[in-house]
A and B are shown apart, each in its own frame.
Chain A
Amino acid sequence: MQDPFVLAGKSYRSRLIVGTGKYADFRQTRQAVEISGAEIVTVAVRRVNITDPSAENLLDYIDPSRYTILPNTAGCHTAEEAIRTCRLARDAGVGSLVKLEVIGDDRTLFPDIPATIEAARVLIAEGFQVLPYVTDDPVACKRLEEMGCAAVMPLAAPIGSGLGIRNPYNIMIILEHSRVPVIVDAGVGTASDAAAALELGCDAVLMNTAIAGAEDPLLMAEAMRLAVEAGRKAFKAGRIPRKLYATASSPLGGLVGR
């Protein structure tokens, strides 16, 4: 495999991770995921509706033998809630990779870093492979990496905000110092945002709303697949430096009439 994305000991071709929330129905979810080329897919953990428990299940549409299922702890506000959610998710038998989200504020949905660190400590000790959703704080990312997280996932901007990377400088600092994969997660709005993340050198990008909330989710899924591929190639190609002044592209000599 050329230029694989290696995460928690497994190699992937795709550097696009997608969520499964906010779609019109399961069929659209499946189509969007397929078109995106993503191989890792996030899911949430919620109560079964016990008055209609045999209703269709997401995993009837997203085949766990074909995709790496990444359960998240969305909605958790404490370390304890997140730990419980991860334990339940692991028992459902899709592996021990988890996206750790402990929300500190309901308007920004920014993570509660102390609680995230507390939960990560317990989960890592129990053998989980933890992917923590975190702010673009290089210190928090370093702490989580040192504890044994399998990657760090700094947000570009608030979940669903579509603002793209708010602070590329912080992301660059995180990239320079991280020895685990850096996955930009949350806040991506459109294709150029995804490409920008990969151009900076991020190992992957995770998004949900950017695709599911687009007017044409299936077309956006394709756009995102192309953007992530383009961004990665641009990164590996080695861009030109940024300069204040011009450097001519055409030869200076051999001009007619001079």
Chain B
Amino acid sequence: MHGQAVAPRTPPGRDARCGARAGPADMAMTVTINGEEREFADLLSVAEMLRTLGAPSGRVAVEVNEEVVPRESYAERRLASGDRVEIVHFVGGG
């Protein structure tokens, strides 16, 4: 299941990240994930994004705008339009 997340709407009045008043028109978000632009219908948290993508949160690490997001914060950390996200995991290597 990609793209259309059924996520709880951020309550009108406060976007937790920048304090601005957010209305319905601002709810969609475009983020770059692993170099590809993706659109989501709602502002998502990192946890919700991983769930939407089907990525197993137990086996990945996530960076937003070149800063690691600790896994304990996946549920609280909200993404914003324009964010650059990297989702990585371990692969074979020497």
Contact = CB atoms under 8 A, between A and B. Distances in A.
Contacts of B54: 53-54
Interface size class of A (residues with CB under 8 A): 35 or more
Contacts of B63: 84, 88
A92 B60 contact: yes
A50 B33 contact: yes
B67 to A, nearest CB: 8
Contact of A93 (B34, B71, B88): B71
A46 B56 CA distance: 15
A72 B93 contact: yes
Contacts, number: 110
Contacts of B55: 48, 50, 53-54
Interface residues of B, number: 28
Given A84-B66, A88-B68, A91-B71, A44 B59 contact: no
A23 B91 CA distance: 11
B70 A74 contact: no
B53 interface: yes
Interface in B47-92: 53-56, 59-63, 66, 68-71, 86-92
9 contacts: A47-B34, A48-B34, A48-B88, A50-B53, A53-B87, A88-B88, A89-B90, A92-B89, A208-B93
Given A48-B55, A207-B94, 5 more contacts: A21-B94, A57-B56, A71-B90, A84-B63, A88-B68
Interface of B: 33-36, 38, 53-56, 59-63, 66, 68-71, 86-94
Interface of A: 19-23, 26, 29, 42-48, 50, 53-54, 57-59, 69, 71-72, 74, 84, 87-89, 91-94, 159-160, 186, 206-209
